[in-house]
Structure 1
Amino acid sequence: MKKSGFPDEIQDGDLIAAADIGSNSFHLVVARYTHGELRVIDRLRESIRLAAGLRKDGTLARDKREAAFACLSRFGQRLAGFEASRVRAVATNTVRQLSTPQAFLLPAETALGHPIEVVSGREEARLIYLGVAHGLPLTDEKRLVVDIGGGSTEFIIGRGYEALERESLQVGCIASTLRFFEDGKITSRRWKQAQSEIAVELQQFGAHYRERGWSEAIGSSGTMKAIGGIVQASGWSDQGITAESLATLREALLRAGSTEQLSLPGLSSDRVGVIAGGVAILDAIFTTFDLARMNVCETAMREGLLYDMLGRALHTDSRGTSIGALAERYGIDPAQANRVSDTAGQLFEQAASGWSLDAQAQEMLHWCAQVHEIGLAIAHSQHHVHGAYIMANSDLAGFSRQEQAQFACILRSHRRRPDADTLRNLPPRMQPVTQRLTALLRLATLLHRARSDEQLPPIRLSTNESQMILELPSGWLENHPLTRIDLEQERDHLKQLGIKLVVGKAVNRSAAA
């Protein structure tokens, strides 16, 4: 199957944009691709503090919802005229924690004018590292990168542009401030409690990270830049954040006793209310990892998104690497995967126009075909169900949560009776293409049920809004009775997807002439 990441390659002079919908701040960065490099030409940032509006029942306070939508509307104005393939918007921890994310995402996407992906904590970590790595001199040495966000903190050990280890903890500057210093008071007892509880979380992977080792520790994000700015403006550190300067900052917070009394050089007004939680997290990190110094990097996840987009356009898509690794890990039969993939690709090319399917849909169909039998690693019975579970719950670099849900939906319904409920649970914008890709994969797997190298006859497929017309050479189905019965049954199955299948005999045009 021919594969391409975007409908058009990124050309010299093209603009691309990335929106980071974080738990503390929303960021938009616009860059121009020129002479093989990305040059940032515009940045927008607004402090929304979305995490502060997250209720225990997983709903979001009305004022935070309205502030978020208003900000995204302003971002949308800046993005007016951008092609969909040139914009990526990603939401992180707070949106991950919502009980009904779609209730937020639908109006948010309308305000922004572009789809919004929700990424897992580990995918967020990968994107952060990609942004940091491109903002620093390239080296073969390993680096520890830490990003304290509003709702979560990501930890990455990487080398070059590759993230070797990725972790994400549910501790962030807003969440930790609300948890340990909700009324603004900062006391020694509360600080010790914060250190103890955060250290317990860090123990999950702290020993493993120390064993892997690193030559340099890097801090990314607004919290790190804020702390670095304070210790340098106060004269406590000449470069980066040292263990001594962090200890001095901690004592300054304890002396102040409350956020209302805080007055520190370099501390901006929009950081006063959340700095205690951020410093408490960093204090625990320095202790757990026995750090002497952490340098601060200017780049973060939003830059990582830009470089990830560039990689997809230049055919170095991390999602393809993830699928290849998954196929190898679960022992996929490569011959059968390639048979199904090739036929699915031929069907796609004939169906694409009638069904308005683009290159990204083509890529998704190819990946689904490559691992459609992944569930066989668990059991043959219900292997499509097992495969869907694996896809929905695996840690797949490059994929958003919505993409993994779409992937799982297609695998769940690629054989037997389609599961219409899983389709309805997808974001509405993804349902039509998922329905159609499922139908194409079903036909491809049906035609290769024999798992043989016997060449298929010429196949014609035409489509319209809710119909597939499949034409096979006269006499072929009579000689393949199992396939004929399977196609008769397939008519009933595809009705569950809202698609009518019509099977006919192709006209021998040369004979007719």
Structure 2
Amino acid sequence: MPQAPTLLRQGGAPAYAALDLGTNNCRLLIGAPCGSGFRVLDSFSRIVRLGEGLAATGLLSETAQDRALGALAACAEKLHRRPVRALQAVATEACRRAGNGPAFLARVEAATGLRPRIISAREEAELAMESCTPLLEEGDRRALLFDIGGGSTEIAWIRVRSGHGASSAELIGYISLPLGVVTLAERVGSSCFTESGFSAVVEEVAAQLEAFDRVHCIGQEIRAGGVRLIGTSGTVTTLAGVALALPRYRRPLVDGCRLDRAAADQALGDLFALGRAGLAAHPCVGPERVEFVLPGCAIYAAIRQLWPVPVLTVADRGLREGMLMRMIRADRAGGRQAGYRRGC
């Protein structure tokens, strides 16, 4: 078995690594503590489409596994070159659902030394909440956070407590829909490029969210004010890039920006009007994401239809950032010994 990535044990500034193996992407983030957050030292992201064909077969295909293994090998190489104090690696919806998910992760460990841990939908929502807490502000009573992934969509309903210039967040409830950009793209295909097909997806998603809305009285809370809507996913960052008319995607301009309803709706309409060729040529989309943008926009449109918060806060952050913050905070609190626990 290959050696696990070499990790820093003493001397030098501590670095931490977080790896997220999703249904559509494989992402790695390496950061060092800086103030109340962290400074990015290195990152990696590659579309691997691990969940391709999963809805039809219930299994991860060999081709999809090979793509993911190639990306994970690149992550392992980065970790060999830049030792870290601690590593967390997680796998999400594709590995949760696939009958051969655990066998694939054993193959990953044998090939790369990495051992991603399959996390629950609740932990996924908690990590997204952790990463987005710094976007909360004084006056926020509640937050509605959504993460449109490749194989599922997680929605978190959050209680906000403010004081001493900072806000804290508590998860009140969450829901995980088995609908993501990959699963929808495979099921609805070209129909999402038509008005009727797009509307059908919007209504399907909205119907699946209605019970969650009733349980938590979210619509009533929105009418009372003080509810922040936060979106973290490629869908909402793409909407922001279009709304801001960026000639190329720039994270510092997107992360934390706010889109009012009119600007977000205009960006969605612009994306829909582009068609396949236009989406492939757009600097904030590109050919690899053409099939996934409109299914993601349909999920977003359903969320906005059911929960019409006037402003969307856009977050270019998610599970990796949440994992890094947990590791850094645990070390600062003395809750983690300096050293590497594989598979943590």
Mark yes or no: TM-score above 0.5.
yes
Cα distance in 2 for residues equivalent to 1:211 and 1:77: 50
Q: CA deviation at 1:127?
A: 0.3
- Counterpart position of 1:41: 41
Structure 2 residue 276 is the aligned partner of structure 1 residue 259: yes
- Counterpart position of 2:186: 178
What SS does structure 2 have at the residue aligned with 1:291?
A: coil
What SS does structure 2 have at the residue aligned with 1:147?
A: strand
Q: What does 1:303-342 correspond to in 2, within 5 Å? A: 303-315=321-333
> Which range is displaced more, 81-90 or 302-311?
81-90
Cα distance in 1 for residues equivalent to 2:137 and 2:310: 22
Q: CA deviation at 1:288?
A: 0.5
Residues 28, 43 of structure 1: 8 Å contact kept:
yes
Residues 230, 265 of structure 1: 8 Å contact kept:
no
- Quick one: which amino acid aligns to residue 133 of structure 2? A
Cα distance in 1 for residues equivalent to 2:14 and 2:246: 42
Q: 1:202 aligns with which of 206, 209, 214?
A: 209
Cα distance in 2 for residues equivalent to 1:82 and 1:16: 10
Structure 2 residue 159 is the aligned partner of structure 1 residue 144: no
Q: What does 1:40-59 correspond to in 2, within 5 Å? A: 40-59=40-59
Residues 186, 253 of structure 1: 8 Å contact kept:
no
Q: CA deviation at 1:161?
A: 3.5
Q: CA deviation at 1:115?
A: 2.0
Q: CA deviation at 1:250?
A: 4.3
Q: What does 1:264-283 correspond to in 2, within 5 Å? A: 264=282, 266-283=284-301
Structure 2 residue 304 is the aligned partner of structure 1 residue 286: yes
- How much identity, in percent, do the aligned residues show? 25
Cα distance in 2 for residues equivalent to 1:204 and 1:12: 51
What SS does structure 2 have at the residue aligned with 1:283?
A: helix
- Counterpart position of 2:319: 301
Residues 184, 273 of structure 1: 8 Å contact kept:
no
Cα distance in 1 for residues equivalent to 2:284 and 2:101: 36
What SS does structure 2 have at the residue aligned with 1:197?
A: helix
- Counterpart position of 2:263: 245
Cα distance in 2 for residues equivalent to 1:249 and 1:287: 16
Cα distance in 2 for residues equivalent to 1:9 and 1:77: 18
- Counterpart position of 1:109: 109
Q: Structure 1 250/140 Cα, relative in aligned 2: closer, same or farther at 3 Å?
A: closer
Greater RCO structure (CA 8 Å; 6+ sep): 2
What SS does structure 1 have at the residue aligned with 2:211?
A: coil
Cα distance in 2 for residues equivalent to 1:274 and 1:49: 11
Residues 14, 85 of structure 2: 8 Å contact kept:
no
Residues 85, 340 of structure 2: 8 Å contact kept:
no
CA RMSD of aligned residues (A): 3.2
> Which range is displaced more, 63-72 or 189-198?
189-198
C-alpha deviations, 1:250-269, integer Å up to 9, x for none?
Answer: 4445545x524545564333
- Counterpart position of 2:233: 221
C-alpha deviations, 1:53-109, integer Å up to 9, x for none?
Answer: 424231112221101001100100111277797100011111111112222101122
Cα distance in 1 for residues equivalent to 2:292 and 2:196: 18
Give the count of matched residue pairs.
311
Q: Structure 1 250/78 Cα, relative in aligned 2: closer, same or farther at 3 Å?
A: closer
The structure richer in strand per residue is 2
- Quick one: which amino acid aligns to residue 196 of structure 2? R
User: Which sections of structure 2, spanning at least 5 residues, go unmatched?
Assistant: 1-7, 161-166, 248-253
Q: What does 1:125-140 correspond to in 2, within 5 Å? A: 125-134=125-134, 136=135, 139=138
Q: Structure 1 228/143 Cα, relative in aligned 2: closer, same or farther at 3 Å?
A: same
Q: Structure 1 184/107 Cα, relative in aligned 2: closer, same or farther at 3 Å?
A: farther
Cα distance in 2 for residues equivalent to 1:315 and 1:154: 29
Q: Structure 1 144/272 Cα, relative in aligned 2: closer, same or farther at 3 Å?
A: same
Cα distance in 1 for residues equivalent to 2:11 and 2:308: 46
Q: CA deviation at 1:222?
A: 2.0
Residues 17, 84 of structure 2: 8 Å contact kept:
no
Q: CA deviation at 1:299?
A: 2.0
TM-score (norm. length: structure 2): 0.79
TM-score (norm. length: structure 1): 0.54
C-alpha deviations, 1:455-476, integer Å up to 9, x for none?
Answer: xxxxxxxxxxxxxxxxxxxxxx
C-alpha deviations, 1:318-344, integer Å up to 9, x for none?
Answer: xxxxxxxxxxxxxxxxxxxxxxxxxxx
Cα distance in 2 for residues equivalent to 1:139 and 1:288: 25
Cα distance in 1 for residues equivalent to 2:51 and 2:321: 22
What SS does structure 2 have at the residue aligned with 1:273?
A: helix
Q: CA deviation at 1:221?
A: 2.3
What SS does structure 2 have at the residue aligned with 1:65?
A: helix
Cα distance in 2 for residues equivalent to 1:119 and 1:77: 24
Cα distance in 2 for residues equivalent to 1:185 and 1:30: 36
Q: State the structure with more CA Rg.
A: 1
Structure 2 residue 198 is the aligned partner of structure 1 residue 191: yes
- Quick one: which amino acid aligns to residue 86 of structure 1? A
- Quick one: which amino acid aligns to residue 163 of structure 1? E
Q: CA deviation at 1:118?
A: 0.7
Cα distance in 1 for residues equivalent to 2:26 and 2:109: 14
C-alpha deviations, 1:399-458, integer Å up to 9, x for none?
Answer: xxx99xxxxxxxxxxxxxxxxxxxxxxxxxxxxxxxxxxxxxxxxxxxxxxxxxxxxxxx
Q: CA deviation at 1:205?
A: 0.8
Cα distance in 2 for residues equivalent to 1:167 and 1:234: 33
Structure 2 residue 81 is the aligned partner of structure 1 residue 64: no
Q: Structure 1 359/275 Cα, relative in aligned 2: closer, same or farther at 3 Å?
A: closer
Cα distance in 2 for residues equivalent to 1:249 and 1:359: 44
Residues 58, 98 of structure 1: 8 Å contact kept:
yes
Q: CA deviation at 1:35?
A: 6.3
Cα distance in 2 for residues equivalent to 1:292 and 1:270: 31
